[in-house]
Amino acid sequence: MKRENFAMLCDFYELTMANGYFKKGFQNKIVYFDLFFRTIPDGGGFAIAAGLEQAIEYIKNLHFEADDIDFLRNKNIFDEEFLQYLSKFKFTGDIWAVPEGTPIFPNEPIMTIHAPIIEAQIMETYLLIAINHQSLIATKANRIVRAAEGRTVLELGSRRAQGASGAVLGARAAYIGGCNGTACVLTDQLYGVPSAGTMAHSWIQSFDSEYEAFKTFCEMYPNNTVLLVDTYNTLKSGLPNAIRAFKDVLLPMGITNCAVRLDSGDIAYLSKEARKMLDDAGLKECKIVASNSLDEFLITDLLRQGAKIDIFGVGERLITSKSNPVFGGVYKLVAIEHEDGRIEPKIKISENIIKITNPHFKKIYRFYDNVTGKALADELCLYDESLPNNDSHTIFDPNATWKRKTLTNFTAKSLQKEIFHGGKLVYKNPSVEEIRKYCLNQIDLLWDEVKRFENPHKYYVDLSQRLWDTRQELLNEKI
């Protein structure tokens, strides 16, 4: 089987357009594309950017091999001169992007690509795959982590993920979003995300008795013992046998750091009963782990019911973002750069207002209150506009321009970082641990009202007056 070359992981129309651009002599036409998203998953107040590291690796290795060219030649649709162009293909442009772990909002450029049009066009599919998938999972993970209210959350969803990369990179994204670890060993090996695990029901079923299974596991892994107690009967056998194994094996060794895991039944009720039984047995330090199709809504309900849970294991509803499984990022041309250096804005218009794009080569600024440190609003502005000063600045809601607010005593910071310059990587990828810490810190800078699960406060993403005027001029021209 041929080794996968991700240059070929593109929609076929990327290549037909590229061939057409080449035939028209457009191969040196310089353009700007924005990668952004339109709606926040689950009706939330914000999303989290992720997947940039994988996008960078893709761009660094972007090329077509001889057998790729032969495959395309056999389609009998592409010009030979175009195929020869592809044989020497590499990325030569510039890219700016929002760092992984940054809270993001609709219509903000997560990535801005400045490159010859064929290069920019061919990259569309993979860049959307990388950013859409991991931003979706990081966003979902953070919702679940916030629902757990400081308790440990582990990602356990590999076997329910959509494919191997969905499992591996989904676990990476979940860690960025705030999960404490994963069951996926390969994600640990590749990215340093802590992996952990306990046992399956098959371990217990393979022994003559539940107690023997528990006792053996305690003897083998005394410093990392978590016993699954619902194989037969949680309260009548599982918990009593676990308690007995802990007392027979761990306590004589002076070990009190252990746990039981509930994976079925009425988790709220069982956790409260388990806590009583463990405490009565003198195992007050023994933790209770809960799993079984959990998400932020079920975790919130469990805690409202007084469930005694220390650790949540979350699988399928996290790794697939089951309640809202599509991030909805898009990739749109926003400007053309002419030979004289003039940048011509471009707009996409639709009867569906949400699909009307913000034109031009843009910058993004985030305003922070100098007293609280909290994020106040974001602003998209034209590339040649200067950084707003911190004296006074008026922002407005682009969909309701009468909603204006004047900011004072603030600091404005640019959100995007330069990633590639002239085809060369100029950005150093942080470790996944550094990204996770940065992410949690940045989320702390959002107001609690923005972080609500239900009816969150709408965070302002303003357009500068110049950008607003440009957009309106283009709309008036095209309508």
Q: What is the mean pLDDT of each run of 10 residues along the chain (479 residues)?
A: 87 97 96 97 97 98 96 97 97 98 97 98 98 98 98 96 96 98 97 94 97 98 95 97 98 96 96 98 97 95 98 97 95 97 95 92 95 95 83 71 76 95 97 98 97 93 93 89
CA-wise closest residue to 335 among 369, 373, 382, 298: 382
Which residues belong to CATH 3.20.20.70 in the chain?
Answer: 212-286
What is residue 359's DSSP assignment? P
CA-wise closest residue to 376 among 458, 474, 287, 466: 458
Tell me the pTM: 0.96
Q: Which residues contact 3 (CB under 8 A, 6 or more apart)?
A: none
* Amino acid present at 42: D
Give DSSP secondary structure letters for 452-468.
Answer: -SSSPPPPEEEE-HHHH
- Rounded to a whole number of angstroms, the distance between the first and last alpha carbons of the chain is 51
User: Which strand ranges, in their side-by-side order, compose the sheet holding 30-37?
Assistant: 343-345, 329-337, 30-37, 111-116, 94-97, 417-421, 424-425
Q: Helix, strand, coil shares of the chain as percentages rounded to 5? A: 40, 20, 40
**Length, in residues, of the chain:** 479
What is residue 361's DSSP assignment? S
Contact present, 140 and 42 (Cβ < 8 Å): yes
CA-wise closest residue to 407 among 390, 387, 426: 390
Cα dihedral 334, 338, 341, 346, rounded to 10, equals: -20
CA-wise closest residue to 287 among 200, 217, 227: 227
What span, in angstroms and rounded, lies between the C-alpha atoms of 233 and 222? 24
**Strand-pair partners of 36:** 330
Give the pLDDT score at 400. Answer: 63
The domain defined by 212-286 folds into TIM Barrel (3.20.20)
Q: Which residues contact 299 (CB under 8 A, 6 or more apart)?
A: 144, 147, 148, 312, 314
Helix and strand tally (H, E) in the chain? 16, 21
Q: Which residues contact 5 (CB under 8 A, 6 or more apart)?
A: 63, 64, 65, 68
CA-wise closest residue to 19 among 113, 66, 86: 86
CA-wise closest residue to 172 among 123, 224, 136: 136
- Report in angstroms the alpha-carbon separations of 135 from 74, 130, 368, 457: 37, 8, 23, 21
The domain defined by 6-137+325-478 folds into nicotinate phosphoribosyltransferase (3.20.140)
**What is the widest separation between alpha-carbon atoms in the chain?**
82
CA-wise closest residue to 54 among 107, 97, 108, 3: 97
Give the pLDDT score at 387. Answer: 76
Looking from the CA of 375 toward its CB, the CA atoms found within 13 Å total 29
Contact present, 35 and 128 (Cβ < 8 Å): yes
CA-wise closest residue to 388 among 405, 409, 373: 409
